[in-house]
């Protein structure tokens, strides 16, 4: 193996697994961004409904969860739980429901991404 790949291969066993995990991170981050933008557009177009603070807190946590580095999983899990609680409290239609739905979906995307990345790297380490 070329010496410049030694650092890359260390956590996942081989460069292929590390590149696969990076590809998963890239694709899921794009998906997370689409969910956030879509939720913001739906929220802006909604004509009725008051905004529940809990739903906004969940949405904010889900947004911050995508950018916090080592706290990604923790913040996304908190946002997921708070978002589900806000979604249960939200009326059938309106801004509170849109914000809560955006928080739940965006947080779930980040959590699934982290689990898939860990699984790929663990598999690479076990096979490497």
pLDDT single digits (tens) 100-122:
999 999 999 999 998 998 888 88
Task: Give the model confidence (pLDDT) of 32-69 as tens digits.
Answer: 999 999 998 988 888 776 778 888 899 888 888 777 77
Q: What is the domain count for the chain?
A: 1
pTM of the model: 0.82
Q: Residue 90: left if φ>0, alpha if ψ -120 to 50, beta else—which one?
A: beta
Contacts for 125 with CB less than 8 Å, ≥ 6 apart:
11, 12, 13, 17
Residue 18's domain comprises 3-127
């Amino acid at each position: 193996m070329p010496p410049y790949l030694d650092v890359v291969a260390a956590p996942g066993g081989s460069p292929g697994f590390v590149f696969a995990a990076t590809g998963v991170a890239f694709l899921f981050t794009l998906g997370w961004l689409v969910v956030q933008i879509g939720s913001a557009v739906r929220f802006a177009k909604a004509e009725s409904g008051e905004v529940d603070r809990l739903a906004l807190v969940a949405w904010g946590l889900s947004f911050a969860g995508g950018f916090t580095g080592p706290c990604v999983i923790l913040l996304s899990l908190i946002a997921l739980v708070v978002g589900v609680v806000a979604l249960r409290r939200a009326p059938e239609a309106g801004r509170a429901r849109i914000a809560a739905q955006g928080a739940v979906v965006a947080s779930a995307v980040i959590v699934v991404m982290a689990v898939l990345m860990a699984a790929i790297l663990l598999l690479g380490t076990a096979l490497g």
